[in-house]
Amino acid sequence: MEAYLDNSATTCLCQTAKEKTVEAINKYYGNPSSLHSLGTASQKQLEAARAAVADSLFCQAEEIIFTNSGSLANNAAVFGAVHALRRRGNRIVTTCVEHPSVYECMASLEKEGFEVIYLKVDKLGRINRSDLMKAVNSKTILVSIMCVNNEVGSIMPVEAAKAAVRAAGAPALIHCDAVQAYGKMPLKPSRMGVDLLSASGHKINGPKGVGILYVRKGVRLAPYVLGGGQEGKIYSGTQPMPAIMGMWGAVEELPNLTEQLAKTRQLRDYFVAEAVKIDGLCINSGDDALPYIVNISLPGHPSQTVLNFLSDRGIYVSGGSACSKGHRSKVLTAMGLPPERIDSALRISFSRFTTKEEIDMLLCGLESAESSLRKKM
Amino acid sequence: MKEVILIKNGELALKGLNRRTFEDVMIKNMRRRLSDLGAVTFTPAQSTIKIEGEDGFDLDEAVERISRVFGIAGFSRALKLDKDFDLVLEQTGSYLEQQLLEAKTFKVAAKRSDKKFPFDSPKICLELGGKLLEQFPHLEVDVHNPELTVMVEVRDRDIFVHANQLKGAGGMPVGTAGKAALMVSGGIDSPVAGWMMAKRGVELTAIHFASPPYTSERAEQKVLDLLKKVARYAGRIELTIVEFTEIQEAIRDKCPEDLFTIIMRRLMVLCAQRIASRSGCGALITGESLGQVASQTMGAIACTDAVADVPVFRPLIGMDKDEIISISRKIDTFDISILPFEDCCTVFTPRHPRTRPKLHDVEAAEAALNVGELVERAIENVRKVVIN
């Protein structure tokens, strides 16, 4: 038996996603921009997929843009917003624990001369509302705050951004990287008060190669990919139909998110209650974090060692996050954790298919990792 | 139009009676390297080896591979012509067109080893030079410092025309200096050390110590990828992977922390020389550079060498990190070396390793281990991978 507990890195394809992907490969090879009937058939499927994604976010179909990944959606949002509003101001507000696909954009914009404010996080990885209020001034053109942190699962007060922007009278657009939240907790961009929201297909049991960007109606973004003008002229390029239809399948198969969240919370609580019995093990995620992600540390045992040990036993977890292998986690450092906890951190991430058996397997694996890797006295 | 490669031997030309042996090894190495490109013949004559492929032979790829064969000082792509001087006049301009267009000054040089050929060297230069000036009016002749030297070689059977010799990899043909085992961790230094010894004609085998679960499959893959790059120069390499976890855990549990690294290295050498002698190696090779880390101080090296009963070659011993890095970039191993996977040398590293260990202290600490048995178990339990 295997225990795949690295679902925040990526997930397996669910049945409907598989079927839709294969259907697209077999039947919808026409270019959705072609005017003949084969192209039109693809275009109909494309629009149906768009409508399904829009439904899942309680927004309109024309507010959804397909990209090739969550990272590209984040890049398109950040650069698109900043380049559209660059004449109106010079400040960008974000957090110091964003995913690299936002963080690195910020670093690049800093080099272009923008002033980027990185909001600090507390020891559970959350930003503080009053810091946010203070950071936004009238020259702010973008506020980009992730919905759920990818390493520890902390949920950010994204809805506070709108109030901050209003209070400062800023021209800013508000972007939310919801890659880890989408399909796991109910999201409604209009209620969250965001203008832009990114998500990804393969984190919700859809295929790799597709991301989406919600762009609120009326918001103007600078194009990110220039070309044939597809996807609202923001993200040109022939749409990857197999990936898009696969994502549509994954969205169709999503369960009731509130109920699923409660089930996952039970599993998480069970895991945490048992895990803390292991000698030295500490939990780095807060109780109020998204229950799909639990970050733990086994001080004294480097992440990679425990990861290899578990991997040999068919248990798959991640050290920090899969996107930052080999580097000391920025997120855990920002949370002010001591070095020995950072170097021994593991990210356990669940999906709606995760079972109690898998969690028991993990607990058992962690237990034997701790006892067999410990220095023998 | 038939194009061939002409190889100029390096140091080999200086060898006396055993020159043929060296040459034979070099030809064997080249043959192996080019074997999958199709039928190819090697003809040695007068300190030159001619390489000629059948029709459709990928000469560009062959040139690329030949540039990494040790023992070659220089080589040229040449036009092969029948022994008719009119052909030389007719075809040289078009064969060397690109190079002639790019140059401003040139000269023609000729070498006539077939003294029966009706045109002597000065005549060849004069005639061909005049013809080329006619075809490329922008050119000027400069006999002392030309940008391009057009070479005409009149041999017994053919005439060869070429320009500006390419630099070869130098060194000695791999296999002419014996066989040695490279201890490779996955860092920057060991592949460079292997490359340097191969350059001096040493045939390589490699030994890697893996410590699962402390080290991962990726670390092993990294070593394979590094050796693939080295094999482009050194030819076939057989890698032996030794499971080292038990030994490392034993040292951690039973020996003082500050001597961990030095004792580990002694055990590595003990394992390595047993494996090396089995595969007929006469020496070990490591990537140590004096003073780079605590285990590479003079005292530490003395402690390590105390267990070695074969020579340990350390070609990087006097090199700075910068110099090592610049070679690793040249042989294209640097980007692989810096991938961040834990390797056997970084597992359990002590916070304050002893930089001036005394041999008797080390031996006393090591007495807590059953060294013979540990080594025996480790070398019985090895995996082998061949890298071509």
Contact B214 A325 (CB under 8 A): no
Could you read off the pLDDT of B288-304 as tens digits, one per residue? 999 888 788 999 999 99
On chain A, the residues whose CB falls within 8 A of the CB of B212 are 308, 312
Instruction: Mutate one of A298, A301, A303, A305 to test the B interface: name it (highest B CB count within 10 A).
Output: A305
**Selected residue with higher pLDDT from B10 and B313:** B313
| Interface ipTM | 0.74
Contacts of residue A306, defined as CB under 8 A and 6 or more positions apart, other chains included, come to A298, A319, A344, A346, A366, A369, A373, B213
Residues A47 and A55: their CA atoms lie apart, in Å, by 12
Contacts of residue A76, defined as CB under 8 A and 6 or more positions apart, other chains included, come to A65, A67, A213, A221, A224, A225, A234, A235
Could you read off the pLDDT of B354-378 as tens digits, one per residue? 888 899 999 999 999 999 999 999 9
Residues A44 and A63: their CA atoms lie apart, in Å, by 17
- Is the pLDDT confidence value at B109 over 70? yes
Could you read off the pLDDT of A54-77 as tens digits, one per residue? 999 999 999 999 999 999 999 999
Just give the CATH number of B2-169: 3.30.2130.30
Contact A326 B214 (CB under 8 A): no
Instruction: Report the gap between the CA of B259 and the closest CA in chain A (Å).
Output: 16
Confidence of residue A376 (pLDDT cuts 50, 70, 90): low
The percentage of chain B sitting over the pLDDT mark of 70, rounded to a whole number, equals 98
Distance of CA B294 to the CA centre of its chain: 29
Q: Chain B, 213-272: which have a CB under 8 Å from a chain A CB?
A: 213-217, 249, 252-253
The percentage of chain B sitting over the pLDDT mark of 90, rounded to a whole number, equals 76
Just give the CATH number of A15-253: 3.40.640.10
User: What is the pLDDT of chain A when averaged over all its residues?
Assistant: 95
Residues A357 and A360: their CA atoms lie apart, in Å, by 5
Query: Quick check: A376 contacting B, CB < 8 Å?
Result: yes
Instruction: Report the gap between the CA of B224 and the closest CA in chain A (Å).
Output: 19
Could you read off the pLDDT of A18-51 as tens digits, one per residue? 999 999 999 999 999 999 999 999 999 999 999 9
A96, A282, A323, A364: which one is catalytic? A323
**Selected residue with higher pLDDT from B345 and B269:** B269
Contact B253 A308 (CB under 8 A): no
Residues A24 and B256: their CA atoms lie apart, in Å, by 63
- By the 10 Å C-beta count (0-12 exposed, 13-18 middle, 19+ buried), B388 is classed as exposed
- Is the pLDDT confidence value at A325 over 70? no
Instruction: Report the gap between the CA of B250 and the closest CA in chain A (Å).
Output: 9
Instruction: Report the gap between the CA of A314 and the closest CA in chain B (Å).
Output: 13
What are the angstrom distances between the C-alpha of B89 and each of B75, B80, B111, B148, B149?
A: 23, 13, 16, 17, 16
Contact A308 B249 (CB under 8 A): no
Cβ atoms A281, A296 nearer than 8 A: yes
- Is the pLDDT confidence value at A354 over 50? yes
Contacts of residue A305, defined as CB under 8 A and 6 or more positions apart, other chains included, come to A373, B213, B214, B342, B347
User: What is residue B13's predicted lDDT score, i.e. its pLDDT?
Assistant: 65
- Is the pLDDT confidence value at B245 over 50? yes
Contact B216 A304 (CB under 8 A): yes
Parse chain B into domains and list their residue ranges: 2-169, 179-387
Q: Which residues pair with B155 in a beta bridge?
A: none
Residues B100 and B161: their CA atoms lie apart, in Å, by 13
- Is the pLDDT confidence value at A323 over 50? no
- By the 10 Å C-beta count (0-12 exposed, 13-18 middle, 19+ buried), A233 is classed as middle
> Is residue B345 helix, strand or coil?
coil
Contact A308 B212 (CB under 8 A): yes
Cβ atoms A50, A245 nearer than 8 A: no
User: What is residue B271's predicted lDDT score, i.e. its pLDDT?
Assistant: 96
CATH of the structural domain A3-11+256-373, one choice from 3.40.50.300, 3.90.1150.10, 3.30.1490.100, 3.30.390.50: 3.90.1150.10
Nearest CA in chain B to A311: B213
Residues B331 and A306: their CA atoms lie apart, in Å, by 34
Q: Which residues pair with B78 in a beta bridge?
A: B4
Instruction: Mutate one of B211, B215, B216, B243 to test the A interface: name it (highest A CB count within 10 A).
Output: B216
- Same fold yes or no, B2-169 and B179-387: no
> Is residue A66 helix, strand or coil?
strand
Could you read off the pLDDT of A286-313 as tens digits, one per residue? 999 999 999 999 998 888 889 999 999 9
Residue among A307, A325, A377 whose CB faces B340 most closely = A325
What angle, rounded to 10 degrees, do the helices at B260-278 and B245-254 form? 150
On chain A, the residues whose CB falls within 8 A of the CB of B216 are 304, 307-308, 311
Average of pLDDT values for B196-225?
A: 93
Could you read off the pLDDT of B326-365 as tens digits, one per residue? 999 999 999 999 887 777 677 788 888 888 889 999 999 9
Contact A302 B214 (CB under 8 A): yes
Parse chain A into domains and list their residue ranges: 3-11+256-373, 15-253
Query: Quick check: A312 contacting B, CB < 8 Å?
Result: yes
Query: Quick check: B341 contacting A, CB < 8 Å?
Result: yes
- Is the pLDDT confidence value at B8 over 80? yes
Buried b / exposed e along B287-323 (16+ C-beta atoms within 10 A): bbbeebebbbbebbbebbbebeebebbbbbbebeeee
On chain B, the residues whose CB falls within 8 A of the CB of A325 are 340
Contact A305 B340 (CB under 8 A): no
Token couple for B345: 């040398």
Nearest CA in chain A to B250: A376
Average of pLDDT values for B301-318?
A: 95
User: What is residue B26's predicted lDDT score, i.e. its pLDDT?
Assistant: 92
Nearest CA in chain A to B217: A308
Query: Quick check: B351 contacting A, CB < 8 Å?
Result: no
Contact B213 A308 (CB under 8 A): yes
Residues B219 and B215: their CA atoms lie apart, in Å, by 6
Residue among B214, B252, B253 whose CB faces A305 most closely = B214
Query: Quick check: A308 contacting B, CB < 8 Å?
Result: yes
Contact B253 A375 (CB under 8 A): yes
B58: number of CA atoms within 13 Å, CB side?
11
Superfamily of domain B179-387: HUPs (3.40.50.620)
DSSP output for B350-378: -SS--SS--HHHHHHHHTTS-HHHHHHHH
On chain B, the residues whose CB falls within 8 A of the CB of A376 are 249, 253
Contact B340 A308 (CB under 8 A): no
A and B: number of Cβ contacts within 8 A? 34
Could you read off the pLDDT of A238-265 as tens digits, one per residue? 999 999 999 999 999 999 999 999 999 9
Residues A70 and A203: their CA atoms lie apart, in Å, by 9
Residues A34 and A38: their CA atoms lie apart, in Å, by 8
Could you read off the pLDDT of A173-183 as tens digits, one per residue? 999 999 999 99
pTM of the model: 0.83
DSSP output for A255-320: --HHHHHHHHHHHHHHHHHHHTTSTT-EE-S-TTS-TTEEEEE-TTS-HHHHHHHHHHTTEE-BSS
- Is the pLDDT confidence value at B59 over 80? yes
CA torsion through residues A134, A138, A140, A144, sign:
positive
Contacts of residue B301, defined as CB under 8 A and 6 or more positions apart, other chains included, come to B288, B290, B314
Q: Is A176 a catalytic residue?
A: no
User: What is residue A377's predicted lDDT score, i.e. its pLDDT?
Assistant: 43
- Is the pLDDT confidence value at B172 over 80? yes
Q: Which of these ranges, A134-143, A195-204, A324-333, B316-325, has the smallest mean pLDDT?
A: A324-333
Contact B213 A376 (CB under 8 A): no
User: What is residue A231's predicted lDDT score, i.e. its pLDDT?
Assistant: 96
DSSP tally for chain A: helices H, then strands E: 13, 12
